[in-house]
Amino acid sequence: MKAPTEPQTRVLAAIQHRARILATEKTSATGQRSPLDGAPQQPSPESRRHHIAVRRALVEVARAGAVPAAWIAHAIREGDQGLPFDPDTALPEPEPVDWDTVLGGLDTEVRQLQHWAALAAAHHAFRIPGTGHYASGIDRNLRTLYARTAGIANLLGIDRELGRDLWGAHRDWTPAAIATISYTPHPELPAHWSRIAQTSTTITSQHAAALANAGITITESPAIPSPDTLLPAVARELAPAPALFSDLGNTIDAAVGAAQPIREMPAAFGDPAAVFSHSGGPEPWSGDPAWAQRQTAPIWQEPGQ
């Protein structure tokens, strides 16, 4: 019988706990006794909406972290019946993993993280007049993106060695990040900074909070360097800002005005149609060039093998 990893167990426990709270609120609203403690309780609509949103985010990150759909459904059913989580409870047989979907979603997030890190480092290094007010938005959104990406990597159990197979060693992240903006004309940078600063990361933040709620680390990952490590490394390698910037004047305002904020950055892990699970053995990852220009596809080994 396939058993969940420790991080998967934590997420399943959090999902079941949230489902149990919702079951309690439902019975309380209909005048029944709470399955938690038998006491009547009248939940507020705001409370119920909050718990529904948290459970939804937990399910989405569980799918992203290869927690089998059968296990997720089991945790929800148990919680709906008011049952507390029991790690010794037998779980249904999990479905095969689709590693192309799981690792493809994570790889998309990593590439986005590298791109934003390069733009953030350029903003700090170049210090272009008239763009300083983007700093807080860029930093906030970059760190929110990192929190979700690192959390999903930790849920998957990706250690430093597996991270090196997928994206290279930490030192390789610097040239990889710089490459994402190497063909970006310098006068267009302010528009990119504006987009990052204005991008809505509400869903990303909810996912990160759900991971933290389940006890998954979101502040660091052995496979993914943190912004505090990556940004200074990228900034040191960037060429000094050209003299062109000193004459931009209203060109910056025009470029920024043309930039359209992103309502919400792609949530690679929030696709409810995708099915994620833990496979019974190592399976090849196709290494689709749409994710990265790789010559060979790394072989994913399950955590602990």
Q: For residue range 164-197, list pLDDT tens digits in order.
A: 999 999 999 999 999 999 999 888 999 999 999 9
Predicted confidence (pLDDT) at residue 268 exceeds the cutoff of 80: no
Give the mean pLDDT of 27-52.
66
Return the structure tokens found at 175. Answer: 């040239």
Nearest by Cα to 152 from 210, 73, 87:
210
Provide CB contacts within 8 A for 3, sequence distance 6+: 91
Q: What is the pLDDT of residue 35?
A: 53
The mean predicted confidence, pLDDT, of the chain is: 81
- In three-state secondary structure terms, 180 is coil
pLDDT tens, residue by residue, 208-262: 999 999 999 999 999 999 999 999 999 999 866 554 444 444 444 444 444 444 4
Q: How far apart are CA 144 and CA 34, in angstroms?
A: 36
- In three-state secondary structure terms, 296 is coil
Q: Which spans in the chain are helix H?
A: 6-29, 45-64, 69-80, 99-126, 135-156, 160-167, 173-179, 189-198, 202-213, 227-237, 250-258
Give the mean pLDDT of 99-105.
94
pLDDT tens, residue by residue, 117-155: 999 999 999 988 899 999 999 999 999 999 999 999 999
Q: What is the pLDDT of residue 259?
A: 45
Percent of the chain whose pLDDT exceeds 90 = 63
Predicted confidence (pLDDT) at residue 99 exceeds the cutoff of 50: yes
